[in-house]
Structure 1
Amino acid sequence: MAHPSTSEVFIQGITHGGKTFRPSDWAERLAGVMSSFRPGGVRPGSHLSYSPWCIPKVINGVKCVVVNRALQGHEPMAWDFVMNFARDNDLQVVEACLLPDVAAPAQR
């Protein structure tokens, strides 16, 4: 399902049949469950933010969860959980690398 040469996988909120996955907040829920899996482990208050290894995003109008491969090395069972979630719900998984947002140039 995922190739080890990519740095991230995108779990897309679209089934292989082309239907939008529901509920509409699935990405935030999945990322929230994964919030405790982070570099350095759980710290006080870390449950209040998403893990840098599992981030909900909207990409080209599609809700996604971007899962960093570092999760697989540090918490294999957590990695299996998100990959099984995608498989069990027939969600499309794309291997890619998330690029940082670039600020738009100032207009004069």
Structure 2
Amino acid sequence: MSSSSPPAKPREVFIQGLTRDGRTFRPSDWSERLAGVMSCFRPGGAPMGPGGHIGYSPLCVPRVINGVKCVIVNEALRELEPMAWDFVMNFARDNNLQVADACLLPDKPDAGSQRE
């Protein structure tokens, strides 16, 4: 009997709204714009129907972390659409933005919601 490990979670890359010299990147809505451009790259393709085009891809989402605007890019985007992955990575490089590999942890559940 062989032991199998759970599949590795795809890594996430955090593109931070700070340049390598520590300056805040402008314009102030850069993260929403970048994530908006990437909204059609989703597992299973873009949703259909009215309003299906509204919303961010789960593979490229804007967030504010410790007061810094970021875009979190899931490495699964590289497999889904390599050119889209290259686009966001080149955006970060071309704008001299700080990039970190990390994993976004889920929000803590409410203490009251764990009743037995």
Normalising to structure 2: TM-score of the pair?
0.83
- Match in the other structure for 1:40: 44
- Match in the other structure for 1:93: 99
Deviations 1:21-72 (CA, angstroms, capped at 9, x unpaired): 0000000000000000000012223320100000000011100000000000
| Bigger Rg, structure 1 or 2 | 2
CA distance in 2, matches of 1:71, 1:6: 10
SS of the residue 1:67 aligns to:
strand
Q: Which of 1, 6, 12 is 2:16 aligned to?
A: 12
Between the two proteins, the alignment pairs up a number of residues equal to 102
Q: Which of 22, 25, 31 is 1:27 aligned to?
A: 31
Q: Residues 75-86 of structure 1: matches in 2 within 5 Å?
A: 75-86=81-92
Describe the shift of the 1:18–1:6 C-alpha distance in structure 2 as closer, same or farther (beyond 3 A).
Answer: farther
Structure 2: tracts of 5 or more residues without a match: 1-8
One-letter code aligned to 2:28: S
SS of the residue 2:77 aligns to:
helix
SS of the residue 2:16 aligns to:
strand
Q: By how many angstroms is 1:104 displaced?
A: 4.3
- Match in the other structure for 1:66: 72
CA distance in 2, matches of 1:37, 1:6: 16
Q: By how many angstroms is 1:6 displaced?
A: 6.0
Normalising to structure 1: TM-score of the pair?
0.89
Identical aligned pairs, as a percentage? 70
Structure 1: tracts of 5 or more residues without a match: none
RMSD: 1.4
Conserved 8 A contact 1:55-1:65: yes
